[in-house]
Homo-oligomer: A and B are copies of this chain.
Amino acid sequence: MNIRVGIVGISGFGGGEALRLIASHPSFELVYAAGEGSAGSPLMDRFPGVPDKLSELVIEKWDPTALPKLDVLFASLPTGSSAEALARVPEEVKIVDIGGDHRYIEGWSYGLADVWPDQIQGRSRIANPGCFPAATLNALAPLLTQRLIEPSNIIIDAKTGISGAGRGGGASKFGYAESNENVQPYGLLKHVHMPEIAKTIEQLSGGSAAGLVFTPHLVPMTRGELVTIYCRGTATTEQCLDAARSFYADRPFVRVTTMPPQSKWANGSNLCFVSYAADPERNLVIAIGVVDNLGKGAAGQAIQNANLICGLPVTAGLEGAPVWP
């Protein structure tokens, strides 16, 4: 079965990773790639390693009203710049929005694909989670649904590779020399990912209000993301691990480990690793979540969502093992 797909925002890191994954997807055929900066150039100029079968494709100027026949459009645009344009995409084109404009917006399903695949299947407008929410919510979902932690008191300390700051941001603020050999905290007590994390926590915990502290840090690596989450709860480490094992029993992309996972374990893949360490006497549960910020944190989960809305096996095109070392 051939499903015709397109990407808008091809020059960003999320769009580029979508291209990589689509290129070896068994059912998706890339027929459209658009981007502002690079419109007019052959795909190969921008991606010298692009597979031969795509080497003739030319990057087009993004125009939502002049699309070729498409089954699915992947949008990876900067936050704030997709809402209006995507509203003009024809109804019959399914959309997975990797950008942030449609999360918890009416008419769009929040694509937390390993947690609630049933709420995604059959839909046609999917808002892909941000990278921090992907790592955080996958780690917390089993604890929240089992009421093993208090939703009102959650501290998320996040570490991400520099590609998480985006290509635009990267060019203007995150030069190599300044970012290398550096840990940079940013956005203390305010960060754009907070609302989608809070809203999802409330849903998963049956409506209890979420109380969150979220501190992101840039660490000197290209890809990878690890969140260390400090929660209140009296469960043991084993109870937390068991809750996660059972929650993710049928989920091929989430792995529960007894050792604390390392960010690199997921690089280049759509995997998510979660682990837990608890001290019931101190009312403490530590949850750790690991994703590739461009994989499960962006394009990987987007393909997974597209598989779900197209009725494909959820693992189609996503079976590649992580790149190690």
Contact = CB atoms under 8 A, between A and B. Distances in A.
Given A277-B189, A286-B213, A323 B20 contact: yes
A49 B322 contact: yes
B321 A222 contact: no
A283 B173 CA distance: 33
Nearest to A255: B48
A91 interface: no
A224 B177 CA distance: 12
Contact of A282 (B178, B211, B221): B211
B325 A221 contact: no
Given A159-B159, A213-B286, A179 B182 contact: no
B171 A222 contact: no
Given A177-B325, A224-B181, A279 B217 contact: no
A181 B267 contact: yes
Contacts of A116: none
B322 A189 contact: no
A319 B51 contact: yes
Interface string A219-240: 1111110101010000000000
Interface stretch (A140-148, A162-170, A195-203): A162-170
Given A48-B261, A52-B252, A159-B217, A176 B183 contact: no
Determine the interface band of chain A, counting residues with CB < 8 A from chain B. 35 or more
Interface string A243-274: 00000000010010100111111111101010
Contacts of A51: 319, 321
Contacts of A257: 48
Interface string A301-325: 0000000000000000001111111
A178 B273 CA distance: 17
Nearest to A223: B181
Nearest to A323: B268
B161 A181 contact: yes
Given A162-B176, A176-B175, A257-B48, A221 B224 contact: no
Given A181-B181, A183-B263, A176 B323 contact: no
Given A167-B175, A170-B176, A172-B171, A185 B260 contact: yes
24 contacts: A16-B325, A20-B323, A49-B321, A50-B321, A51-B319, A155-B230, A162-B175, A162-B180, A177-B222, A177-B223, A177-B325, A178-B325, A180-B180, A180-B222, A181-B223, A181-B224, A183-B219, A184-B262, A189-B286, A213-B230, A215-B286, A217-B228, A219-B221, A220-B220
Top-6 shortest CB links A-B? A49-B322, A182-B264, A177-B325, A170-B175, A183-B263, A188-B277
